[in-house]
Amino acid sequence: MNQCGSADARSQACRDATQIHGGYGFTNEYPVARMWRDSKILEIGEGASEVQRMLIARELGLGG
């Protein structure tokens, strides 16, 4: 069930877009700023979900 680094790829794409847009990449008037913030939130959430899956698997005796 591992998403094979999808959060990392998403974050890298958003970092690149922020670099391309320069200072505008950090202002709330442009969607790239929102996308960067969302990518960080999703990265944290994905990590928390993976930890939760590992804990459940361990409790069920399936490894992890």
- In the residue annotation, 46 being an active-site residue is answered as yes
Q: To which residue do tokens 């505008």 refer? A: 24
**Of the listed 29, 43, 46, 50, which one is catalytic?**
46
DSSP state of 14: H
Q: What is the largest CA-CA distance in the chain?
A: 50
Instruction: Provide the residue count of the chain.
Output: 64
| Catalytic machinery residues | 46
